[in-house]
Amino acid sequence: MSDPEHSNGPLLEGVTVLNLGSVGPAARAGRMLADYGARVVQIAPVSKKGALQTRPVYHTYGAGRDFLRMRLDLKSDAGREALLRLTEKADVLIESFRPGVVDRLGIGWEVVHERNPRLVYCSTTGYGQDGPASTWAGHDLNYLAMSGFLACSEPRADGGPPIPGATVADSAGGGMQAVMAILAAIVKCERTGRGAYLDVSAAEGAISLMSLSIDQFLAEGEVAGPRQVLLTGRYAFYDLYETSDGKWISVGAIEPHFYRNLCERLGLGQYRDDQYAEEKQDEIREAFRAAFRSRTRDEWAAELAPHDTCVAPVLTIPEVARDPHWRERGVFMEAEHPDRGVFEQVAPILAGGIRDRPRHRVRTGDETDSRDLLATAGYSETEIAKLLEEGAVE
């Protein structure tokens, strides 16, 4: 894929990010910022015997692509001071501790802001820094539950809400929200010379994704449950249909001209003017079901997708990985692990990221850049050796 917009280098070249979060929204944010060219330092706890460590599987979060790494003991005075000295030359710090923990550790916003007034300090949590739920532990499913997302989705056979196939709250609700806020704060800092504190809640981010449904309820009292409104499948033209080979196809023909095209190509022209006819939706849906069951998914996709019908096949993960469209777009790249060998992974595919990259080497869990990072923070070789010997840094 041609990429003329990167003739002058990565978009975030020169931006340094310290990331204290290894999973969830913080990890997603670090991944995206690195893909845009930021210098991201992944800071993990030291590997003390008996300590509980959350270490992502080697292939997750881009397999650490382009990350610098170090381990710090933030409960020690020396480790804490090392982080604070790193913040003096950084642009962004991301953390994902529970509310109040960074202040108890002595690395909270006020302390860091005093050391570097330009730094953008981003706290990522599930439910925010305050409020009744702020102390709750949680993961993606919990955040989606609290946002109304699950209640709006088609129920399972047992009547319960479904478990989504992607970490929507962590990624879009948390990680992407954090990145947008960080970039906005960087722009403001360029004008004012002052950093900012950002309170990012993954659940609130999920609520923002639900704004169409929630705003509809707040304005009109209409609840967007399954099959209740357009975007949850109330009408036959916005639904999923099984095909003759047991696969599925998605239909989202909202605009009238797309709907009419769909009806004509399905051989159901008699319904072309009944798109929103409430009394005919069951009849139209059954006619669509019968039509789609007459051919395979790929046959219908070839027949309908190129002809303005808002139709696309429901792909499995292996099919996504093989799909010629994504291949041509450069969605995947190679990585090489010293033990696992060569494998593919999702490339930096957000707009503005550089997709055309050489194979990158996946680092082992023991590799760090601590010596070089401490040197850039002003530590002497003797001081670095002492920190390593004491176990404050690894």
Instruction: Give dist(CA 322, CA 163) in Å, integer.
Output: 25
Residue type, 355: R
Provide the CA 144 distance to its chain's centre, in angstroms.
14
**Distance separating alpha carbons of residues 236 and 253, to the nearest angstrom:** 9
| Residue found by looking up tokens 């009849």 in the block | 283
**Contact (Cβ atoms closer than 8 angstroms) between residue 332 and residue 322:** no
Residue 170 is a catalytic residue: yes
Residues linked to residue 44 through DSSP beta bridges, in sequence order: 71
Active site includes 239? no
d(CA 102, CA 246): 52
Pair of tokens at residue 360: 């990158």
Q: Which residue of the set 6, 59, 139, 360 is catalytic? A: 139
Identify the residue whose tokens are 């860091």.
112
Order across the sheet with 341-346: list the strands: 341-346, 332-337, 360-361
Rg (CA), the chain: 25
Q: Which residue out of 73, 140, 170, 239 is catalytically annotated? A: 170
Q: Which residues are catalytic?
A: 139, 170
